[in-house]
Amino acid sequence: MSANAAVTGPEQLATVLDAAGPALRGLIERTERRLEEIATAYGPELTRHSASTLTAGGKRLRPMLLFICAGDADSVDLVRAAAAVELLHTATLVHDDVLDRAALRRGRPTVFSSGGRGAATATGDLLFSRAFAELTATGDNEAVRALAFASSALARGELIQREDAWKPDVTRERYLERCELKTARLFEAACRLGALLGTPGPRAADALGAFGSRIGVAFQIFDDVLDVSGPVDRTGKPRGTDLLDGTITLPLILARRRDPTLRQLAVDSPQSAEDVCDRIAATGALDDARKEAMRHVAAGKDELAALDLNGRQRRALDLVADGVVERYS
């Protein structure tokens, strides 16, 4: 790991919090309390599922980005916006687990596996609706539009992923389009909301949003690298989970160029997924995918050059950017 620590573990998270200053820690804690209030407000059944989902070890990366991008601002509206972003993110995870019939998320049983399809669907719907209720309370129409844009993109990205499942000819460009829609747009929205509701203001929203988008693409690419290479005790899921779902990711796309036999996959068990992961790694595709992610991180940092950021704010954003491609390295 480089001198800039990743943002995923407790020690790395503390590094970002220290770089950003004591106010960020307080804002994150207030967001946690707000999420807990929302999760426990709708009866015991939904409380059980929504609370377990919202406290299942999430990094709060998107709220963190929102607060850092907000500069020195500190308001109830910022906490509402951060909660809204995290609620929307969590809702998509719950619904993804229904579509994938996933048993584990972050090393814990999913709502789908513990409560069934109906409970998971209802929980995701609740979290989704509460996200927009929280943000609407700020009274900022531009902020609501930004989150709505991200929400629409998430759905489109999911449709592309389903359409491309198991296909042997998915291109790098098609994959990156999916990353931008399904992952990067919510990162972009978090940064944009921070600017709109914080001290930078609307003039900085485009540049900070572009930074978030680039970081989001890098985050997804590296997530897909970890699906092939990551240790289960750190990622919370077995290697090759995406392969079992038929999801075509950048490591596989790059590996197919070097090993054409990977175009015809036979992944029908955890062991066969592990075997394909080993074959992908043997081609050197993981290193190429990591380099692609790092290029997006560099491009994201370039977006910050024209902004008048103080040293503390810039260092915190750099730490988050570097961290998305240094997980478990």
8-17, 159-168, 219-228, 230-239: least confident range:
8-17
Q: For residue 134, name the pLDDT band (cuts at 50, 70, 90).
A: very high
134 belongs to a structural domain: yes
pLDDT at 8 over 60: no
Contacts of 298 (CB under 8 A, 6+ apart): none
* Segment 289-305, tens digit of pLDDT: 999 999 999 999 999 99
pLDDT at 164 over 90: yes
1 belongs to a structural domain: no
259 belongs to a structural domain: yes
Give percent above pLDDT 70 in the chain. 93
Mean pLDDT of 23-27: 92
Q: For residue 280, name the pLDDT band (cuts at 50, 70, 90).
A: very high
d(CA 44, CA 291): 46
pLDDT at 254 over 60: yes
3-state secondary structure of 104: strand
7-16, 20-29, 168-177: least confident range:
7-16
Mean pLDDT of 104-113: 79
Partners of residue 105 on adjacent β-strands: 108
pLDDT at 252 over 80: yes
310 belongs to a structural domain: yes
Structure-model confidence comparison of residues 279 and 101, the more confident one: 279
328 belongs to a structural domain: no
Q: What is the CATH number of the domain that holds 262?
A: 1.10.600.10
Range of the domain at 186: 10-323
Predicted pLDDT of residue 265 = 80
Mean pLDDT of 197-217: 96
Retrieve residue 328's tokens: 């478990």
pTM value is 0.92
Q: State residue 135 phi and psi, 5-degree precision.
A: -70, -35
133 belongs to a structural domain: yes
Predicted pLDDT of residue 206 = 96
Q: Is the dihedral of CA 176, 105, 14, 35 positive or negative?
A: positive
5 belongs to a structural domain: no
Predicted pLDDT of residue 327 = 67
Structural domain count, the chain: 1
Predicted pLDDT of residue 3 = 33
329 belongs to a structural domain: no
